[in-house]
Structure 1
């Protein structure tokens, strides 16, 4: 059983958690702060981040927290965030690629990408690349990327990832979360190829009643309470992320999630992913596509 109290102290380490002001990100940031890490709250909204930091400090007065603005729907904002971080810090121990949106109506990011594809996946791909040098400067840096059970039925539409003329919110969400997991595995392969000490792991929270449900369509908000007993808590959903970040037994390329029935809830542990996510050819193809779409060379 995973117990935070039994995990190593993280004092002296720096962690970035995207979407740290609410839901899974908030619980992850709080846990890392409780273990002594300095936590960078990478969020869009300053007021919401301040409220989250105040709540954490009320519960854990010794928490070391800092806000840096980050909007994953904007390449400009991601670059500004990375530049701000690197101007102040030379290393990064933990990058938690947590933030995400789920099944919104069709809209595009500032750079013209379908919002789920752009925010959930491409934004984190670009952010990780921009920060990789600082992660490499840590003794044992880690990149933790959130996927979802939804990846199981996902497919990557390589010819038309934005799917503007055939947009289906859940299809796009599945694609974005499959891409996140493919990225986690492909990043690990590339790190191993250069004998890097950095490791990359993928995680999923099960089915947790997070803010994504509250912000979802009306039908989702209506049915969620009916199945509450089947779902994971937000605290439980964050455990795979926390475990992936600080468990000393963790190895690169592993995939963590709840180990209960159908992976919906339960104690965190190593779980299986679909075959596409592990396909090396697909991983390489997605990496190339991502670089081309972003006009950015992610050299690991």
Structure 2
């Protein structure tokens, strides 16, 4: 392995099935392209199947032997999540890798189809429900992993407030995003603990891309877009680099249950992937368990661990 972990360090993925949400663009797409090039059967689980087909075609152009399929998935709808999970469980009795990558950031106040605050509902509850309904097809598989993509934003205004979990009393787009991202981490740590207790060979890990040049900034107000794009362009790294922490968390044989990966540069904003840590509240076991219980009730999804 090289001193700086790169895509060249991804082991052979032949015979493995990887499902990646939000993988028609950004770091999800870049991760999908690498995994497909290494031999995995990659499923692009995306809201817009036409865009998924275009992404799959681009991957096949780069890697003519790639096996890539598309599954429609709208994380703002529990009905869509249920339908997608049903289809994937049938099509793929063996799932080696689930990467919960899709996300929305700093959206105006809005709700999912089930009435959840959009960012919390999409980024956390949607992936919680999706994972819970696919987990049985991962649990028997040696070396299987669930990787959930979080963000450095969890450190800023990300505290879980059970009295206003859906931001109904007060909405701030940055706070809502940060809350969804710390929820991703709490979900990972609680899932990791449950998987270990169950004796399953599956592990749960998390990653964050630092500042990466993707479409996540598209929801900033129009009057800020120009300034945001300039600043983001100066500090961000490419989507290819941003995908590396996800790829390492997903494939590095040395990764352990419950670990978190991000860039190795200053402030974890840029660079090659290394093991990192998250803030203190994300490790609060009591809050993790309470969030898990609330998430089960809100989504009506329970886990087999």
Do Structure 1 and Structure 2 share a fold, with TM-score over 0.5? yes
In the alignment, what sits opposite 2:289? 284
In the alignment, what sits opposite 2:255? 250
**How far apart in 2 are the matches of 1:94 and 1:260?**
27
Moved over 3 A (4+): none
Is 1:68–1:81's contact at 8 Å kept on the other side of the alignment? yes
* TM-score of the superposed pair, with normalisation by structure 1: 0.97
The yes-or-no answer on 1:163 pairing with 2:167 is: yes
Question: Aligned residue pairs: how many?
Answer: 300
**How far apart in 2 are the matches of 1:227 and 1:44?**
26
Is 1:27–1:235's contact at 8 Å kept on the other side of the alignment? yes
Query: CA 1:297 to 1:221, structure 2 compared with 1: closer, same or farther past 3 Å?
Result: farther
**How far apart in 1 are the matches of 2:188 and 2:226?**
30
The yes-or-no answer on 1:3 pairing with 2:6 is: yes
The yes-or-no answer on 1:263 pairing with 2:268 is: yes
Is 1:213–1:221's contact at 8 Å kept on the other side of the alignment? no
In the alignment, what sits opposite 2:277? 272
* TM-score of the superposed pair, with normalisation by structure 2: 0.96
In the alignment, what sits opposite 1:39? 42
In the alignment, what sits opposite 2:207? 203
Q: Which runs of 5+ in 2 are unaligned?
A: none
Task: Give the alignment partner of residue 24 of structure 1, picking from 17, 23, 27.
Answer: 27
Query: CA 1:209 to 1:7, structure 2 compared with 1: closer, same or farther past 3 Å?
Result: closer
In the alignment, what sits opposite 1:298? 303
In the alignment, what sits opposite 2:229? 224
How much has 1:55 moved relative to structure 2?
1.1
**How far apart in 2 are the matches of 1:44 and 1:286?**
26
Task: Give the alignment partner of residue 77 of structure 1, picking from 75, 80, 93.
Answer: 80
SS in 2 for 1:138: coil
